[in-house]
Amino acid sequence: MDHKEFIRGGTALSEDEIKSGKIFVEEDALDCRYAWDTGVAIGRYLAELKKGKIIAKKTNCCDRIMIPPRMFCELCYRPSGAWTYVQDTGVVNTFSISNIYYDASRVPSGEPNPMPAVIEIDGASKGMGIMHLLGEVKPEDVKIGMKVKAVWKPESERTGSITDIEYFKPY
Amino acid sequence: MRKVAVVGAGMTKFARRALETPKELSYQASKAALDSAGMKLKDIDCVAHGSAPDAFDGIHQKGEYLADGCGGWNKPTMRVFVGGATGVHAIAHGWYHVASGLADTCLVVCEEKMSSAMPHAQAFFLTIFDAITERALGLNLIWIFALEMKRYMERYGYTKEDMALSAMKNKNQGLKHPASQFYGGNELTVEDILNSEVMASPVSRLDVSPVSDGAAAIVLASERTARRLTDKPVWIEGVGWCLDTAYWATRDLYYPRYTEIAARKAYKMAGIREPHKEINIAEPYDPFGYKQLHHMEGLLLSPKGKTVELLRDGHFDMDGNLPMCPSGGLLGVGNPIAAAGTLKLCELFWQLRGEAGERQVPGNPRLGVAQAWGDLMQVSSVVVMGINNA
């Protein structure tokens, strides 16, 4: 028996069929709104970001310093311990230079390319990083292992958000 | 636990945009799978179906919407969802129903329609990230795969050309799959891939599998039922799955340890001690060129950091020691998220029965492994399938 017999349907529509209105399309635009409570651990994390500081949480069970902070150690499944400040510096673990925004639309020419990176935060356990953006660096100069420091928004503009750090820059 | 066999497989073509609704796609794939097993819906005891984010369809609780297309009404029907890993996870889930003795037969159906989401399905991935600490940074999946690809390349000194070679292999193999949107098309060169538009470095457009609509299905049966239905049952020898941390920036992206844990569970169940010697066909999940190499290492089918060397040596070619993605995979056929994993199970079924036509791996392959990967890039599902063709 040939498997081709059991491949059916999946009728491809052409650009022309779509654009010329030969097929019927029902459109809708959902408007979903949410107000998320930031919780105990992340609530404190955001409050500290507003002050221009990065806070982590220690575990009592496995000697880790966790960032973002959590109320429990997900590995040992025990309550976490003391709050502890970590540095606002770190090391680039990996990065990308992007030509697209989140919705896959292209970055217009002349606009800066977003440079997402995983940054291992100094003072947290080895390998504990956060995702953020890089700035004040030419794309071709970004390297894995590069030391970077947070660039904070002016205090009056901070809202208690991950974007209170505008980006990380080499130092 | 009872032995479980795959007795039928079917799928739709994978299209960039399909005329059919999600239900209609599910019906077509399911009906084809039932026909291939010589069964009717009344012969099916239960249904296991899988589909990825509800947001693609804009239909909340999509499982209930899809259920009739999946043949699930008036039967025990369950939907599973672990993002991209769904297509293989659903088989593990269906396997339980039959292995436990609860059911003699189970229809496993996975479907995805990505084209309804406007203007591009990628935008909907923003909402799978942490709502408070990540979403405000405006990220998407291409970004985090770029971060992982970069980390993997850096670790072993792999080049963009190495990764393009991997993508090219599957893209060109997919030209031989009748369900592929590129079926019968022209081959690509490494240069085509290297010269394609950079989306987020190091990811270029042709390093990525195409967004698609489609469905795929298989039929599972207990040993007694399977032997009555066919003289070529394909046995599910082992299943395994594993979820790693969703704090994805806190683990080293160079190695998929969740894949290794899942694979070890599946191999143990299958009695496999040396997977790289015993497995005849591998269908690792390949949404990106780099990713299938990454997964081959996690599946213990290639030594860490040696995978490009093996790829270049032809080890993973159709006539190599361990043919990799003979289906053409997601890169070559298409990537309708949940259905893409099931495509790999369909391929193993056809390959192990010698029914894969012009894609048939030579030498009567006996044992194959399929794997899928998903959620927030931290889940793997693994299924080992085999045939006794002594």
User: Mean pLDDT throughout B80-87?
Assistant: 94
* pLDDT exceeds cutoff 60 at B159: yes
pLDDT, greater one: A127 or B162 = B162
Both tokens of B62, joined, read 């999509």
Which B residues 201-230 touch A at CB under 8 Å?
A: 201-203, 213-215
CATH number at B348 reads 3.40.47.10
Q: Which helix (H) or strand (E) holds A84?
A: strand A78-86
Q: What's the pLDDT at B191?
A: 97
Say how far residue A15 (Cα) sits from the centre of its chain. 34
**Distance of alpha carbon B288 from alpha carbon A71, whole angstroms:** 36
Chain A residues with beta carbon closer than 8 angstroms to that of B19: 11-13, 23
Q: Which long-range contacts (CB under 8 A, 24 or more apart) does A37-43 make?
A: A38/B132, A39/A71, A40/A71, A41/A68, A41/A69, A41/A70, A41/A71, A41/A80, A42/A68, A42/A69, A42/B132, A42/B133
Q: Which helix (H) or strand (E) holds B277?
A: helix B275-278
* pLDDT exceeds cutoff 80 at B390: no
Both tokens of B205, joined, read 């457009």
Q: Does A97 touch chain B (CB under 8 A)?
A: yes
Chain A residues with beta carbon closer than 8 angstroms to that of B201: 96-98
Is B313 part of any domain?
Answer: yes
Is B308 part of any domain?
Answer: yes
State the DSSP string of B298-310: HTTSS-TT-HHHH
For B67-91, letters b (16+ CB in 10 Å) and e give bebbbbeebebbbbbbbbbbbbbbb
Of the partner residues A11, A97, A163, the one whose CB lies closest to the CB of residue B136: A163
Which candidate in A36, A57, A76, A94 is best for mutational testing of the B interface (most B CBs within 10 A)? A94
Both tokens of A70, joined, read 């959590």
Is B304 part of any domain?
Answer: yes
**Distance of alpha carbon B373 from alpha carbon B244, whole angstroms:** 11
Q: Does A141 touch chain B (CB under 8 A)?
A: no
Residues in chain A, overall count = 171
Per-residue confidence band for B373, with pLDDT thresholds at 50, 70 and 90? very high
Say how far residue A125 (Cα) sits from the centre of its chain. 19
Q: What's the pLDDT at B316?
A: 98
Is B157 part of any domain?
Answer: no
Q: Say if residues B286 and B84 touch (Cβ distance below 8 Å).
A: no
Per-residue confidence band for B122, with pLDDT thresholds at 50, 70 and 90? confident
* pLDDT exceeds cutoff 90 at A21: no
Domain with B32, as residue range(s), is 4-117+210-386
The rounded percent of chain B whose pLDDT value lies above 90 is 91
Number of structural domains found in chain B: 1
Is B163 part of any domain?
Answer: no
Which A residues 31-90 touch B at CB under 8 Å?
A: 34, 36, 38, 42, 45-46, 66-68, 74
Residue showing tokens 């792999």 = B158
Q: What's the pLDDT at B389?
A: 54
User: Mean pLDDT throughout B295-309?
Assistant: 98
Q: What's the pLDDT at A170?
A: 98
User: Mean pLDDT throughout B30-50?
Assistant: 98
Inter-chain contact A96–B143, Cβ cutoff 8 Å? yes
Which B residues 109-138 touch A at CB under 8 Å?
A: 118-120, 122-123, 125-126, 131-134, 136-138
State how far residue B124 is from chain A, nearest Cα, in angstroms.
8
- Weakest-pLDDT range from A72-86, B52-66, B313-327, B344-358: B52-66
Average pLDDT taken over every residue of chain A: 95
Q: What's the pLDDT at A1?
A: 73
